[in-house]
Amino acid sequence: MIALVLVLPVCLGVCSLIAKNRLVNRIALIGTAMVYVAVPFAQGMNIVWTVQPSWLTTYFQFDTIGLYFFCIMTVVFCSAAVYSLFYFKIHALSAKQEALYVLEILLFVVSMSGVILSTHLALLWVFVEASTLTSAMLIYFEKKKSSLEAAWKYVFICSIGIALAFVGIIVLSIGSRHIDSFFFRDLYARATEINPFWLKVSFAFIFVGLGTKIGVAPIHAWLPDAHSEAPSPVSALLSGALLNSALLGLLRVQEIFIRARLDSFSNFLFLITGMLSLMVSAVFMLRLKNYKRMLAYSSIENMGILFIGIALGRYGLFAALLHTLAHSLSKASLFLTSGNILYFYKTKKIDEVNGLLKTDPRTGWLWIVSMLAIVGFPPFPIFISKFLIIKAFWLNGMSWLAIPFFLFVVVVMYGMGSTVFKMAFGDSPRTTAVHSKLPASAFVPQLVLLIILCLIALHMPRQVMDVLHGATIFFQ
């Protein structure tokens, strides 16, 4: 199973690079997506692969929380893979360029799966850095001056951040000399034996390192640039899957703190950065001129909300995990739709986009409904998760903090809402009006994502609930 997830996509990617054939490219991309969909089902049915090397299962495993994050990544990846077919078409990519894109995106997905499945802290670090390197190539895929700038800032800032996370891992090894292992199971089992001082120092480093990757304020500098300059399906993956995988790394480290009964220290850091991220995104949301950057700032906001949820301990964790799922799906839908807008208007400037509903009603409605999903209108699950977080403030006796939280969330809601409505309504400029019809790959992925979101909020299927519940019981 694990070999399928980690090795097969690499093989398929290399095949497509060698073959340089459009059909092979599509088979590699969609085939990997289908295998990824099949894996959680096989896991749910307890199908065990008999032939796999033991070292592979020592270092990589599906645990409950890993399975949950893997499912989210798979849904986002599938939608991005299908949308990529539309991306290939509108950019008239040659078979060779397509093959390169497919290889890069498959390597990127494999590195994220590596982060999710690692059972060893340092190996998790290796894959986090690998995911930075593979995604940097994708950000620069369109080979424009601006995307080069974005890719450079991204790869350099994140590499420095992740190098600091490695310092954190070494510092942790000072505090856990007698444990002499970086396997999470050993660290969890003997968490109380780790020297609290070194554990706290190491957390500070790991927090800064992975926090850079997650894109929380004040270490978010790369995020708006990278998300706005990457091709739309890649932006969807960056926001919907990459940030989550780094977050999972941090959650695994947080569990050491919970077991060592030092979580009041880590929760404080989560709360401060979460609130700061909310504030930064609220401030910037009102003055943005680029709609893809707007989505990027919304990612910073949602990562802030997740951090706050984690900080609120057991009351907030369920909300945070539900929010992870809801944010990933809604944001993927928004980024993919922004690809359609870019196709119609050839600009990312908010001022130059008007009358989206008249230009293309399907894109217009997808844009509006996805916005409603991300800001948390009922019946979308973000409404539930935000509501639960406000409740968790109450239960933790920090009800006064719910006021700034609510205020920032409302400001972001206003900022995004006014921008999206401004773009959707009004008269469509003549230059953009006549276009060929959109193929299904340009709107079906978003539609499916939004339907899944509605289903989760209105009537969550038992299987999804089981996986979500499994993720919450990961924490003691």
Partner 1 sequence: MTDILIILLGTSMLYVFAVSRIEAYVKTLAFQGFLLFLLVIIDIQEIDWLNIAFLSLETLVIKTMVIPYFLFTVIRKNEIAREVEPYITQFYSLIIASAIFIFGFVAAFWAATTNAGIKPLYFGVSIMLIVSSLFLIVNRKTIITHILCYMMLENGIFLLSLSVANELPLLVNLGVLLDLFVGVYLFVIFFNKIQEMYDGSRIDELTDLKDE
Min dist. Cβ of residue 466 to partner 1 (A):
33
Window 113-152: contact mask with partner 1 (x via CB under 8 A):
-------x-xx-xxx-xx--x--xx--x----xx-xxxxx
Composition of the chain by helix, strand, coil, percent to 5: 80, 0, 20
- Identify any residues that bridge with 118 across adjacent strands, giving them in sequence order: 60
* Interface with partner 1, residue 284, by CB under 8 A: yes
**At closest approach, how far in Å is the CB of 60 from partner 1?**
11
Nearer to partner 1, 150 or 216 (CB): 150
Residue 192: both structure tokens together = 């109380």
| Cα distance between residue 11 and residue 13, in whole Å | 5
Q: What is the CA radius of gyration of the chain?
A: 21
Confirm if 236 and 84 have CB atoms less than 8 A apart: no
Q: For residue 120, what are the β-bridge partners?
A: 183
Question: What mask, x for binding partner 1 by CB under 8 A, covers residues 194 to 233?
Answer: -x--x-------------------------xx--xx----
Told to check if 163 binds partner 1 by CB under 8 A, we report yes
Residue 137 makes CB contacts below 8 A (sequence gap 6+) with 104, 151
Residue type, 281: S
- Least CB distance to partner 1 at residue 301 (A): 15
Query: Is residue 52 near partner 1 by the rule CB under 8 A?
Result: no
As given in the structure block, the two tokens for residue 156 are 């350099």
- Compare residues 74 and 111 and give the one whose CB is closer to partner 1: 111
Residue among 258, 360, 249, 342 at smallest CA distance from 295? 342
Site residue total, partner 1 (CB under 8 A): 48
Minimum CB–partner distance for residue 112 and partner 1 (Å):
15
- Does 104 bind partner 1 (CB under 8 A)? Our answer is no
The type of residue at 304 is G
61 touches 5 (CB < 8 A) = no
Q: Which is nearer to partner 1, 198 or 406 (CB)?
A: 198
Q: Which residue, among 432, 373, 362, has the nearest Cα to 86 in the 3D structure?
A: 362
Residues numbered 166-185 forming contacts with partner 1, rule: CB under 8 A: 166-167, 170, 173-175, 177, 180, 182
Residues in contact with partner 1 by CB under 8 A are: 55, 59, 120, 122-123, 125-127, 129-130, 133, 136-137, 140, 145-146, 148-153, 155-156, 159-160, 163, 166-167, 170, 173-175, 177, 180, 182, 195, 198, 224-225, 228-229, 284, 287-290, 293
